[in-house]
Each structure stands twice: as C-alpha cells, then as structure tokens.
Amino acid sequence: MTTPKQCPVIFTSRVIGGRWKAKLVWLLLRNEKLRYTELRRGCPPISDRILSKELKELEGWGLISRREYATIPPKTEYSLTALGETLRPIMAAMAEWGDKTQEIIGVASE
C-alpha cells in the first residue's frame, strides 16, 4: 500500500520543521562532522531527551548518519548523508532570507 503524495511544502516542513531540526541540519552543513556534545552546545537550551529525539528523527528520514566508535569514553559522530546535503541550497536560501528580513524589520542580533 502506498501513501498519497503530500503537498511538497508541508512535507518539507514535516521533515525539517520544529524548533531544532533546521538548526541541527544547519550546524551539520557548516561542519563536516559533529559529536553529540558539540550539537548540544550549538542548540542551547535543548535538553538531552529532545536532542536525542530530533537526531533519531533526522536519522530516520535518512538526512543524517550516526557513527559510533568503540572507545572509552564512547564517541558518537553525526554527519549529513547525501540526501541531507541536498538541503544545502534550501538552508542557504532560508539563511539569506532571514538575514535580509531581520534587517528590514529591525531585529537585534543575538
């Protein structure tokens, strides 16, 4: 059984929408690989529970890959997959729009 095709904008919003997914993808686009703690540091005030959930969802969509190293202490790295890399022009356009629009409406920088 196949599911009916959705509106492409709604589908994209479902995949990378929410408070943290786009930020996580953006961090990984700007860095080849990041460890869990580096991702957490890049998204304050995200909780460990939410970060784990968001990473699992992005991995489930095939946008990121997770690599575990059998070391002590354990080491886990996250990176974008080839499918995740296809988000680069979308995220760049969002960043450009956000920069320009913040200037227009006078939002102070963080």
Listed by start position, the domains of the chain span: 8-98
Query: Residue 51: which of 63, 66, 40, 67 has the closest Cα?
Result: 40
3-class secondary structure, 77: strand
Query: Is CATH 1.10.10.10 correct for 8-98?
Result: yes
Tell which residue, 23, 32, 14, 9, has the closest CA to residue 95: 23
- Confidence class for position 110, pLDDT limits 50, 70, 90: low
* pLDDT tens-digit map of 27-64: 999 999 999 999 999 999 999 999 999 999 999 999 99
**pLDDT score of 106 more than 70:** yes
Predicted pLDDT of residue 101: 93
